Amino acid sequence: MLINKTLATIAITTLFVAVGLGYISAPDPASKHNSSEPDKAMSSNTTLFSKSGHNITPLTDAQIQEHAKDLTPEEAKVILRSGTEAAFCGNLVDNKLEGTYICRLCDLPLFQSNSKFKSGTGWPSFFQPVDPQHVTEKDDSAHGMTRTEILCARCSAHLGHVFPDGPKPTGLRFCVNSVSLDFVENGEEFPAGGKPSMLKTAYFGGGCFWGVEDTFEKLPGVTNAVSGYQGGNDDNPSYKDVCSGASGHAESVEIQYDPSVISYNELLAHFYIIHNPTQGDRQGPDFGTQYRSVIFPTDAEQMKLATAFITDEQIDGKWKDKPITTQVVMAPKFYKAEEYHQDYHAKHGGSCHIPD
Protein backbone atom coordinates (compact mmCIF):
# COMPACT_ATOMS: atom_id res chain seq x y z
CA MET A 1 0.00 0.00 0.00
CA LEU A 2 1.08 3.59 -0.51
CA ILE A 3 0.52 5.53 2.70
CA ASN A 4 0.00 9.30 2.62
CA LYS A 5 0.49 11.33 5.73
CA THR A 6 -1.64 14.26 6.72
CA LEU A 7 -1.03 14.34 10.45
CA ALA A 8 -0.93 17.74 12.06
CA THR A 9 2.20 18.89 13.86
CA ILE A 10 1.81 19.74 17.53
CA ALA A 11 4.18 21.26 20.06
CA ILE A 12 6.59 19.17 22.11
CA THR A 13 9.27 20.09 24.57
CA THR A 14 12.70 21.21 23.47
CA LEU A 15 14.33 18.53 25.61
CA PHE A 16 12.33 15.75 23.97
CA VAL A 17 13.09 17.05 20.48
CA ALA A 18 16.81 17.21 21.20
CA VAL A 19 16.71 13.43 21.71
CA GLY A 20 15.01 12.84 18.39
CA LEU A 21 14.81 15.03 15.31
CA GLY A 22 16.13 18.29 16.67
CA TYR A 23 13.52 21.05 16.69
CA ILE A 24 9.87 21.88 16.09
CA SER A 25 9.94 24.12 13.05
CA ALA A 26 12.22 26.50 11.25
CA PRO A 27 11.34 30.07 10.29
CA ASP A 28 9.54 30.62 7.02
CA PRO A 29 12.13 32.90 5.33
CA ALA A 30 14.54 31.63 2.68
CA SER A 31 15.49 28.09 3.49
CA LYS A 32 18.11 25.67 2.17
CA HIS A 33 15.66 24.66 -0.56
CA ASN A 34 16.18 28.00 -2.27
CA SER A 35 19.77 27.03 -3.02
CA SER A 36 20.98 27.67 -6.54
CA GLU A 37 22.72 24.29 -6.68
CA PRO A 38 19.81 22.37 -8.28
CA ASP A 39 19.55 24.95 -11.05
CA LYS A 40 23.29 24.82 -11.53
CA ALA A 41 23.18 21.03 -11.82
CA MET A 42 20.35 21.12 -14.31
CA SER A 43 21.95 23.84 -16.43
CA SER A 44 25.03 21.65 -16.91
CA ASN A 45 22.86 19.09 -18.77
CA THR A 46 24.32 16.37 -16.54
CA THR A 47 22.03 13.53 -15.52
CA LEU A 48 23.10 11.93 -12.24
CA PHE A 49 22.31 8.34 -11.33
CA SER A 50 22.77 6.45 -8.10
CA LYS A 51 24.37 3.03 -8.05
CA SER A 52 20.90 1.52 -7.68
CA GLY A 53 19.94 3.07 -11.04
CA HIS A 54 17.73 5.94 -9.87
CA ASN A 55 17.88 9.39 -11.40
CA ILE A 56 19.10 11.67 -8.59
CA THR A 57 19.66 14.79 -10.67
CA PRO A 58 18.78 17.69 -8.31
CA LEU A 59 15.41 19.24 -9.11
CA THR A 60 15.16 22.92 -9.90
CA ASP A 61 13.30 25.25 -7.55
CA ALA A 62 10.45 25.35 -10.07
CA GLN A 63 10.23 21.54 -10.13
CA ILE A 64 10.25 21.39 -6.34
CA GLN A 65 7.40 23.89 -6.15
CA GLU A 66 5.44 21.87 -8.69
CA HIS A 67 5.84 18.72 -6.58
CA ALA A 68 4.89 20.68 -3.47
CA LYS A 69 1.48 21.76 -4.78
CA ASP A 70 -0.32 18.83 -3.16
CA LEU A 71 1.33 19.15 0.26
CA THR A 72 -0.82 20.10 3.22
CA PRO A 73 0.33 23.14 5.23
CA GLU A 74 1.67 20.86 7.96
CA GLU A 75 3.55 18.73 5.43
CA ALA A 76 5.02 21.82 3.78
CA LYS A 77 6.19 23.14 7.17
CA VAL A 78 8.23 19.99 7.75
CA ILE A 79 9.36 19.14 4.22
CA LEU A 80 10.04 22.61 2.82
CA ARG A 81 10.87 24.57 5.96
CA SER A 82 12.68 21.99 8.09
CA GLY A 83 9.96 21.57 10.69
CA THR A 84 9.45 18.59 12.98
CA GLU A 85 6.31 16.59 13.63
CA ALA A 86 5.28 15.66 17.16
CA ALA A 87 6.90 12.57 18.62
CA PHE A 88 4.88 9.33 18.61
CA CYS A 89 2.23 10.94 16.36
CA GLY A 90 3.51 9.99 12.89
CA ASN A 91 1.64 7.14 11.24
CA LEU A 92 4.83 5.33 10.23
CA VAL A 93 6.43 5.11 13.67
CA ASP A 94 4.92 1.70 14.39
CA ASN A 95 4.58 0.51 10.80
CA LYS A 96 5.70 -3.13 10.73
CA LEU A 97 4.90 -3.93 7.10
CA GLU A 98 7.71 -4.96 4.77
CA GLY A 99 8.50 -2.54 1.98
CA THR A 100 10.24 0.69 1.04
CA TYR A 101 9.96 4.19 2.49
CA ILE A 102 10.07 6.81 -0.27
CA CYS A 103 10.33 10.59 -0.33
CA ARG A 104 6.93 12.22 0.17
CA LEU A 105 7.85 15.02 -2.23
CA CYS A 106 9.56 13.29 -5.20
CA ASP A 107 9.08 9.52 -4.53
CA LEU A 108 12.80 8.66 -4.44
CA PRO A 109 13.35 5.43 -2.43
CA LEU A 110 15.08 6.34 0.84
CA PHE A 111 14.88 3.51 3.39
CA GLN A 112 13.77 -0.11 3.53
CA SER A 113 11.88 -1.91 6.24
CA ASN A 114 14.81 -4.26 6.88
CA SER A 115 16.87 -1.30 8.18
CA LYS A 116 14.10 0.06 10.44
CA PHE A 117 14.42 -0.40 14.20
CA LYS A 118 12.61 0.69 17.33
CA SER A 119 14.59 3.57 18.82
CA GLY A 120 12.05 4.73 21.39
CA THR A 121 12.41 8.35 20.26
CA GLY A 122 8.97 8.65 18.70
CA TRP A 123 10.07 8.94 15.09
CA PRO A 124 10.76 6.26 12.42
CA SER A 125 14.41 5.25 12.77
CA PHE A 126 16.69 3.45 10.31
CA PHE A 127 20.33 2.37 10.49
CA GLN A 128 21.05 2.94 6.79
CA PRO A 129 19.44 4.33 3.61
CA VAL A 130 18.40 2.15 0.70
CA ASP A 131 21.24 3.76 -1.29
CA PRO A 132 23.82 6.09 0.31
CA GLN A 133 23.51 8.43 -2.66
CA HIS A 134 19.79 8.99 -2.01
CA VAL A 135 20.28 10.83 1.27
CA THR A 136 22.48 13.90 1.68
CA GLU A 137 23.74 15.47 4.89
CA LYS A 138 24.11 19.06 6.01
CA ASP A 139 25.48 20.65 9.18
CA ASP A 140 22.72 22.10 11.36
CA SER A 141 23.59 24.49 14.19
CA ALA A 142 20.09 25.87 14.75
CA HIS A 143 18.60 26.24 18.22
CA GLY A 144 21.97 26.13 19.96
CA MET A 145 22.63 22.50 19.01
CA THR A 146 25.06 20.93 16.56
CA ARG A 147 23.49 18.15 14.50
CA THR A 148 23.56 16.66 11.04
CA GLU A 149 20.43 17.28 8.98
CA ILE A 150 19.43 14.70 6.36
CA LEU A 151 17.68 15.58 3.10
CA CYS A 152 16.44 13.83 0.00
CA ALA A 153 19.28 13.96 -2.53
CA ARG A 154 16.97 14.71 -5.44
CA CYS A 155 14.50 17.28 -4.14
CA SER A 156 16.22 18.50 -0.94
CA ALA A 157 13.13 17.66 1.14
CA HIS A 158 13.88 17.84 4.86
CA LEU A 159 13.83 14.34 6.33
CA GLY A 160 15.19 14.72 9.85
CA HIS A 161 18.63 14.18 11.41
CA VAL A 162 21.21 11.42 11.70
CA PHE A 163 22.86 10.54 15.01
CA PRO A 164 25.84 8.27 15.89
CA ASP A 165 23.89 6.16 18.39
CA GLY A 166 22.27 3.53 16.19
CA PRO A 167 22.64 -0.25 16.10
CA LYS A 168 25.10 -2.33 14.14
CA PRO A 169 26.24 -2.60 11.43
CA THR A 170 26.42 1.17 10.86
CA GLY A 171 26.07 2.58 14.36
CA LEU A 172 23.85 5.29 12.89
CA ARG A 173 20.29 6.38 13.62
CA PHE A 174 18.54 8.12 10.75
CA CYS A 175 15.66 9.77 12.63
CA VAL A 176 12.98 10.72 10.12
CA ASN A 177 9.65 12.53 10.16
CA SER A 178 6.79 10.25 9.11
CA VAL A 179 5.35 13.19 7.21
CA SER A 180 8.48 13.29 5.02
CA LEU A 181 7.85 9.73 3.86
CA ASP A 182 5.41 7.57 1.95
CA PHE A 183 5.45 3.79 2.17
CA VAL A 184 5.26 1.22 -0.64
CA GLU A 185 4.56 -2.29 0.62
CA ASN A 186 6.39 -5.18 -1.01
CA GLY A 187 4.44 -6.36 -4.04
CA GLU A 188 2.86 -2.97 -4.74
CA GLU A 189 3.92 -0.87 -7.73
CA PHE A 190 6.17 2.10 -7.12
CA PRO A 191 5.12 5.51 -8.40
CA ALA A 192 7.01 6.66 -11.50
CA GLY A 193 9.48 8.73 -9.48
CA GLY A 194 10.38 5.72 -7.37
CA LYS A 195 11.32 3.40 -10.21
CA PRO A 196 14.92 2.99 -11.38
CA SER A 197 15.75 3.95 -14.93
CA MET A 198 15.50 1.27 -17.61
CA LEU A 199 19.18 0.48 -17.57
CA LYS A 200 21.19 -1.79 -19.83
CA THR A 201 24.46 -3.62 -19.29
CA ALA A 202 27.66 -3.63 -21.35
CA TYR A 203 31.01 -5.36 -20.83
CA PHE A 204 34.43 -4.22 -22.03
CA GLY A 205 37.99 -5.42 -21.44
CA GLY A 206 40.85 -3.17 -22.46
CA GLY A 207 43.85 -3.67 -20.22
CA CYS A 208 43.97 -2.90 -16.51
CA PHE A 209 40.39 -2.63 -15.31
CA TRP A 210 41.21 0.23 -12.91
CA GLY A 211 41.47 2.72 -15.76
CA VAL A 212 38.64 1.27 -17.85
CA GLU A 213 36.25 1.42 -14.89
CA ASP A 214 37.39 4.92 -13.91
CA THR A 215 36.87 6.52 -17.33
CA PHE A 216 33.55 4.83 -18.09
CA GLU A 217 32.11 5.74 -14.69
CA LYS A 218 32.62 9.43 -15.45
CA LEU A 219 30.45 9.36 -18.58
CA PRO A 220 26.99 10.98 -18.35
CA GLY A 221 24.43 8.19 -18.53
CA VAL A 222 26.69 5.55 -16.98
CA THR A 223 25.23 4.74 -13.58
CA ASN A 224 27.80 2.25 -12.37
CA ALA A 225 31.00 0.49 -13.43
CA VAL A 226 32.35 -2.60 -11.71
CA SER A 227 35.75 -4.26 -12.19
CA GLY A 228 35.76 -8.02 -12.65
CA TYR A 229 36.79 -11.08 -14.61
CA GLN A 230 35.20 -12.64 -17.67
CA GLY A 231 35.77 -14.98 -20.60
CA GLY A 232 37.74 -17.74 -18.90
CA ASN A 233 37.21 -21.26 -17.59
CA ASP A 234 37.46 -20.98 -13.81
CA ASP A 235 34.52 -20.22 -11.55
CA ASN A 236 34.96 -17.45 -8.99
CA PRO A 237 38.54 -16.63 -9.99
CA SER A 238 40.81 -14.57 -7.76
CA TYR A 239 43.08 -11.79 -8.96
CA LYS A 240 46.02 -14.17 -8.48
CA ASP A 241 44.31 -16.79 -10.66
CA VAL A 242 43.69 -14.27 -13.44
CA CYS A 243 47.20 -12.81 -13.29
CA SER A 244 48.69 -16.29 -13.70
CA GLY A 245 47.05 -16.54 -17.13
CA ALA A 246 45.85 -20.06 -16.38
CA SER A 247 42.22 -19.07 -15.80
CA GLY A 248 41.74 -17.65 -19.28
CA HIS A 249 39.78 -14.71 -17.89
CA ALA A 250 40.20 -11.13 -19.06
CA GLU A 251 40.05 -8.15 -16.75
CA SER A 252 36.70 -6.65 -17.74
CA VAL A 253 34.31 -3.97 -16.57
CA GLU A 254 30.55 -4.34 -16.15
CA ILE A 255 28.81 -1.10 -17.09
CA GLN A 256 25.25 -0.11 -16.22
CA TYR A 257 23.99 2.66 -18.49
CA ASP A 258 20.84 4.53 -19.40
CA PRO A 259 20.28 4.20 -23.18
CA SER A 260 18.12 7.33 -23.14
CA VAL A 261 21.23 9.31 -22.14
CA ILE A 262 24.11 7.44 -23.77
CA SER A 263 23.96 4.89 -26.59
CA TYR A 264 25.86 1.64 -26.97
CA ASN A 265 27.65 3.13 -29.99
CA GLU A 266 28.82 6.01 -27.82
CA LEU A 267 30.17 3.50 -25.31
CA LEU A 268 32.01 1.74 -28.14
CA ALA A 269 33.48 5.04 -29.32
CA HIS A 270 34.72 5.80 -25.81
CA PHE A 271 36.21 2.30 -25.49
CA TYR A 272 38.30 2.87 -28.62
CA ILE A 273 39.58 6.17 -27.27
CA ILE A 274 40.78 4.88 -23.91
CA HIS A 275 42.72 1.81 -25.05
CA ASN A 276 44.81 0.54 -27.97
CA PRO A 277 42.92 -2.30 -29.69
CA THR A 278 45.86 -3.36 -31.89
CA GLN A 279 48.21 -4.82 -29.28
CA GLY A 280 46.84 -8.34 -28.88
CA ASP A 281 47.44 -9.83 -25.45
CA ARG A 282 48.78 -6.66 -23.85
CA GLN A 283 47.97 -3.06 -23.14
CA GLY A 284 50.92 -0.73 -22.93
CA PRO A 285 53.37 -2.12 -20.35
CA ASP A 286 50.92 -4.79 -19.15
CA PHE A 287 51.43 -8.17 -20.81
CA GLY A 288 49.19 -11.25 -20.63
CA THR A 289 45.95 -12.62 -22.01
CA GLN A 290 44.06 -10.98 -19.13
CA TYR A 291 44.84 -7.61 -20.74
CA ARG A 292 43.44 -8.46 -24.17
CA SER A 293 41.05 -6.15 -25.99
CA VAL A 294 37.59 -7.72 -25.81
CA ILE A 295 33.94 -6.79 -26.07
CA PHE A 296 31.29 -9.01 -24.49
CA PRO A 297 27.89 -8.15 -26.08
CA THR A 298 24.83 -9.07 -24.02
CA ASP A 299 22.48 -9.62 -26.97
CA ALA A 300 22.29 -9.85 -30.75
CA GLU A 301 21.82 -6.09 -31.14
CA GLN A 302 25.00 -5.29 -29.20
CA MET A 303 26.85 -7.98 -31.18
CA LYS A 304 25.73 -6.38 -34.44
CA LEU A 305 26.70 -2.88 -33.33
CA ALA A 306 30.09 -3.96 -31.98
CA THR A 307 30.98 -5.89 -35.12
CA ALA A 308 29.95 -3.02 -37.39
CA PHE A 309 31.82 -0.48 -35.27
CA ILE A 310 35.06 -2.46 -35.48
CA THR A 311 34.67 -2.82 -39.25
CA ASP A 312 34.22 0.93 -39.67
CA GLU A 313 37.07 1.67 -37.26
CA GLN A 314 39.41 -0.59 -39.23
CA ILE A 315 38.51 1.13 -42.52
CA ASP A 316 38.57 4.75 -41.49
CA GLY A 317 39.14 5.12 -37.77
CA LYS A 318 41.92 6.06 -35.40
CA TRP A 319 43.42 2.55 -35.59
CA LYS A 320 43.08 1.94 -39.34
CA ASP A 321 46.82 1.58 -39.93
CA LYS A 322 47.12 -1.60 -37.85
CA PRO A 323 44.98 -4.72 -37.56
CA ILE A 324 42.45 -4.42 -34.73
CA THR A 325 42.70 -7.47 -32.47
CA THR A 326 39.58 -6.90 -30.36
CA GLN A 327 37.70 -10.11 -29.67
CA VAL A 328 33.89 -9.97 -29.76
CA VAL A 329 32.29 -12.79 -27.77
CA MET A 330 28.77 -13.09 -26.37
CA ALA A 331 28.92 -12.20 -22.70
CA PRO A 332 29.74 -15.14 -20.43
CA LYS A 333 29.29 -14.98 -16.67
CA PHE A 334 30.85 -11.93 -15.02
CA TYR A 335 32.72 -12.35 -11.75
CA LYS A 336 33.11 -9.23 -9.64
CA ALA A 337 36.71 -8.58 -8.62
CA GLU A 338 37.88 -8.17 -5.05
CA GLU A 339 36.63 -5.06 -3.25
CA TYR A 340 40.04 -3.38 -3.19
CA HIS A 341 39.93 -3.20 -6.99
CA GLN A 342 36.62 -1.32 -7.07
CA ASP A 343 36.84 2.46 -7.68
CA TYR A 344 40.60 2.17 -7.31
CA HIS A 345 41.54 5.50 -8.89
CA ALA A 346 38.69 7.29 -7.12
CA LYS A 347 40.00 6.00 -3.78
CA HIS A 348 43.73 6.35 -4.37
CA GLY A 349 44.12 8.95 -7.11
CA GLY A 350 45.99 8.49 -10.34
CA SER A 351 44.77 7.58 -13.80
CA CYS A 352 45.67 5.38 -16.72
CA HIS A 353 47.35 6.72 -19.85
CA ILE A 354 45.11 7.39 -22.85
CA PRO A 355 46.89 6.00 -25.93
CA ASP A 356 47.88 8.38 -28.73
Active site members:
175, 208
355: how many CB neighbours lie within 10 A of its CB?
18
In sequence order, the β-bridge partners of residue 206 are 293
Peptide bond preceding 169: is omega within 30 degrees of 0, i.e. cis?
yes
Q: Which spans in the chain are helix H? A: 14-19, 37-43, 61-67, 73-79, 209-217, 239-244, 264-274, 300-316, 344-348
Rounded to whole angstroms, the Cα distance separating 45 from 341 reads: 30
Spell out the residues 6+ positions from residue 185 whose beta carbon is closer than 8 angstroms to its own: 1, 2, 97, 98, 99
Bridge pairing between strands 181-185 and 99-103: antiparallel
Rounded to whole angstroms, the Cα distance separating 153 from 51 reads: 13
Q: What is the dihedral of CA 283, 339, 255, 332, to 10 degrees?
A: 80
Bridge pairing between strands 327-328 and 293-295: parallel
